[in-house]
Amino acid sequence: MTDAATIIAEIRHLLEQKAHGRYGLSLINQQQHALQAAALAEREGRGDALVVAALLHDIGHMVHDLGENPADAGIDDRHEELGHAWLTDHFGAEVTEPVRLHVAAKRYLCAVEPDYFAKLSPDSVKSLALQGGPMSAEEVKAFEALQHSAEAVQLRRYDEQAKVKGLETPAVAHFMPAVARSLKS
């Protein structure tokens, strides 16, 4: 396993140097999206694990350079799986599972909350179609049985809210202590 200082430096580098691409069709970039999501979790008093999951939920875009809007090209980039695979070397399930499940959580919310679909941004609507659309009743039941599904749903809510142009947030460095505390020992 990579030592803590090295992984923290790598995460900072990704968020500070590789997250300036536009976030889908939004008027913000990947870094602003990540910081807004983490700030929302922190503001609600969530623990380090959910704050870090919110900060890193789209890290799959950064570690694999998936482009600015693959959904526009009709591609499901599977960024949640790519991010999860990268994060599992450094974090436990309390961080990695909400990241892995945040796309499934969108499908879940579209199935169980009649008004949720209307809250989706245009790029989320496009990617939803590529990701399988709203869950079936059987998929809903299976999702609800997963250990970290509630955290994934909360992360998804932060994801949808974290698209505000010009919103002030703490800098990347502000969240690094939470990242450090969440690393595997």
Give residue-wise pLDDT tens across range 49-93. Answer: 999 999 999 888 777 654 555 545 554 456 677 888 889 999 999
Give residue-wise pLDDT tens across range 110-145. Answer: 999 989 999 887 778 877 877 888 999 999 999 999
Q: Say how many domains are in the chain.
A: 1
The parent domain of residue 9 ranges over 4-182
Give residue-wise pLDDT tens across range 1-43. Answer: 579 999 999 999 999 987 766 555 567 788 999 999 999 999 9
pLDDT at 141: 98
Put simply, whether the predicted model's pTM sits higher than 0.85 gets the answer yes
pLDDT at 112: 97
Q: What CA–CA distances, in Å, run from 70 to 45, 47, 136?
A: 33, 32, 25
Q: Could you give the CA distance from residue 77 to residue 81 in angstroms, rounded to a whole number?
A: 9
DSSP state of 29: B
CATH number at residue 104: 1.10.3210.10
The CA dihedral of 176, 177, 182, 184, to the nearest 10 degrees, is 90
Radius of gyration of the chain (CA): 15
Q: Could you give the CA distance from residue 81 to residue 96 in angstroms, rounded to a whole number?
A: 10
